[in-house]
Amino acid sequence: MKLGLWRALLRAALALVGAYLLAVVAACAVQRSLLYFPDTRALSPDPAGPPIEVVRLRTSDGQTLVAWYLPPAQGRPVILHFGGNGDSLAGQSERWREIADAGAGFLAPAYRGYSGSSGRPTEAGLHRDAEAAYAWLAARYAPNDVVIMGHSLGTGVAVRLAADHSARALVLESPFTSAVDVGAAELPWLPVRLLMWDRYQSRDWIGEVHMPLLIVHGDRDDVIPFRFGRELFDLANQPKTFVRIAGGGHNDLPQYGLYKLVWRFLGVGRGAAAPQTRPGAQLPRNA
């Protein structure tokens, strides 16, 4: 092969390597904008909906969080809810109505940078947000009255919190083993495992959770593949329950009766007793 051709091939190879490295650097620089999608607007609860109160929480690093709060009826649990990376408080009105209709209460903190809360989202910051929300509830309710619940990204927040604090139960909707696992599966051409800052390693924390666990995952989830929810369940301690929602996607599980499953799991309902969950039991889809 002629020297000139070798040089041309070498230049082409170096150009490809340079383009790849440039793409890696660019992806690394903007990675948090690919992970968090905050709606920064501080909107008020729907006056036609449940009587939700807007409260302010102060974090250990000085941020002020907006949170929506609905007290539970006598004898009902209060859900500490952590949303997904694109959720807003005002955008989940049907979720709040489902909870209110059961007589349960909730505290839903908006992460830093979301729905009027100050600051910018990071993994360390969201864990501080969760601590502030738990402390606010712990000053008003016994641990056995509090249910920690997370959806999508919020499951990474919820698992870490439940590993460190007591509660009645942990409920995970469309969870992952870690954000790194999801990112690596989505972008196999990037060295995600080396470069990702906010990792949300639920697989490392779920073994420290010692409370009843319910995981609900749709088998057509195109954001967090179903297998990640099942793998996390396999790593968890007993007692635990896994529910596969046939045909369920990522954001539509409430439409498939998610909260009916939650209330049955918790023993919430007319004449319902406290939950007696068998190890590894599966609640029927239409419970």
35-75 pLDDT, tens digit per residue, is 999 999 999 999 999 999 999 999 999 999 999 999 999 99
29 domain-assigned: no
* Residue 16 included in any domain: no
Q: Does 10 fall in a domain?
A: no
Residue 43 counted as domain residue: yes
Number of domains the chain is built from: 1
List of the chain residues with pLDDT < 70: 1-2, 4-6, 8-10, 13-14, 17-27, 270-287
CATH number of the domain that residue 212 is part of: 3.40.50.1820
Residue 248 is assigned to a structural domain of this protein: yes
The pTM is what? 0.88
241-to-99, 200, 212, 216, 274 alpha-carbon distances in Å: 20, 22, 8, 9, 15
The residue range of the domain holding 131 is: 36-266
Say how far apart CA 142 and CA 77 lie, in whole Å: 10
Q: Residue 262 domain-assigned? A: yes
Determine, yes or no, domain membership for 26.
Answer: no
Sequence-distant (≥ 6) Cβ neighbours of residue 17 within 8 angstroms: none
Tell me, yes or no, whether 277 lies in a domain. Answer: no
